[in-house]
Amino acid sequence: MADMSFVNDFRTSLSENWKRVLIGVVSVVSFILIWYLVALRLHTSGSVKAQFLPYPQDVARALVDSFTRIDPVFGVLMPTLIENSLERIIIGFMLAFAVALPLGLLMGAVRTIEDIGRPIVEMIRPIPPIAWTPVFMFAFLSFWGPIAVVFIGAFFPILLNIIFGVRSVDPVLFDAARSLGARRRDLFTKVIIPSVVPYMMTGVKVGLGIAWMCIVAAELLPIKGSGLGNYIWTWADIGQFDKVYAAMIVIGILSILTTGIAELLERRIYKWMGMK
């Protein structure tokens, strides 16, 4: 009986997952079909805008070529460009996390520090990361410049989510911990930090997404060690938009992968901490 129940549950689960997969596939195929039809309309009507929307099969070919043929401008294959962009994103993001985590915890837990930091945060936060690009590029030059842009993009989502997380800790938990003899350090490590983790991970995922957006702007200006953003700007300037779209697809996939890794990490952390 127990086995039959398991089999039925498995069948139901499989059937539901297959449905979702099928819906997803149909959605993607429909999108590509619409893309093809719009491109066909533009190209056959002789529209001057046609070259800005290449056919999906041309983009697919450019994507494959970028991995299999040395690029005539960059002299490398796509994995090298991915590596260069990833390096900037990882360094920029890790720096943002390393600064935002302790600062967020402090600002969230100590009212005076928040009062000092909040006006400055609220002044700088609304400035789009892209607006910092020319400043950082000329101040920090070609290696640290793009990393600084990624840093500023990822920093504020992480910081603000952590502050919010600390502020959202149920006061009842503090009282309960204190009544059980918890000291200040225990309150921090055993009450605040576990409560902040979900908010921190939200900030991490948002920050990662913004970091990927920043890399294209960051790599617009002179850099050493070409990357995906640089590739997009260069081939757009030359006028081969199939390559531009191919690089955009690579960025999209990498963004999904990095966010997926963050979600996996989040689930592991929750499991480890015995959280839902």
Partner 1 sequence: MDKKGIIISVAVVAALIVAGIAVAYLYKPSKESTSVEYVVVAPSKMDAWLAANQTEAYIAWEPYVSSAVVGGNGRVLEWTNEIMPHHPCCVVVASNSFISSSNGLEMTQRFVKAHADATMWINDALAHPTGANYGKLLNISADFTQRSIAVVKEAFGHLEYGYLMNDSFKAALSTFTDTYRNDGFITNDTFHKAGYSSSADFVNDYVNMSYIDELSSVEPNATIINPTNAIRVGYLTGDLHQVAQAVARNETVLNGKSIFEEHGLNVVPALSQGYANGGTEMNAFIEGSVDIGYLGAPPAILNKINKNANTVIIAQANSEGSGIVVGVHSSIKTLEDLKGHIIATPGETSIQHLLLKTALKKVGLTLVKA
How far is the C-alpha of 200 from the C-alpha of 272, rounded, in Å?
A: 16
Least separation in angstroms between residue 224's CB and partner 1 is 4
**Residue 17 in contact with partner 1, rule: CB under 8 A:** no
Least separation in angstroms between residue 240's CB and partner 1 is 6
141, 253, 264, 275: residue in contact with partner 1 (rule CB under 8 A) = 141
Residue among 193, 42, 186 at smallest CA distance from 105: 193
**Residue 249 in contact with partner 1, rule: CB under 8 A:** no
**Residue 80 in contact with partner 1, rule: CB under 8 A:** yes
Is the CB of 82 or the CB of 109 nearer to partner 1? 82
Total number of residues binding partner 1 (CB under 8 A)?
24
**Residue 50 in contact with partner 1, rule: CB under 8 A:** yes
Which runs of E-coded beta strand occur in 138-195?
Answer: none
**Residue 48 in contact with partner 1, rule: CB under 8 A:** yes
241: Cβ contacts below 8 Å, ≥ 6 apart: 51, 52, 53, 54, 235
273 and 260 Cβ atoms separated by less than 8 Å:
no
How far is the C-alpha of 93 from the C-alpha of 201, rounded, in Å?
A: 13
How far is the C-alpha of 115 from the C-alpha of 97, rounded, in Å?
A: 21
Site string for partner 1, 148-167 (x = CB under 8 A): --------------------
Pick the stretch among 47-55, 94-102, 152-160, 246-254 that binds partner 1 (CB under 8 A). Answer: 47-55
Q: First and final CA of the chain: distance in angstroms?
A: 29
Least separation in angstroms between residue 151's CB and partner 1 is 19
Least separation in angstroms between residue 53's CB and partner 1 is 12
250 and 82 Cβ atoms separated by less than 8 Å:
yes
The residue with tokens 């697919």 is: 60
- Residues engaged in binding partner 1 (CB under 8 A): 48, 50-51, 72-76, 80, 83, 141-142, 222-226, 230, 234, 237-240, 272
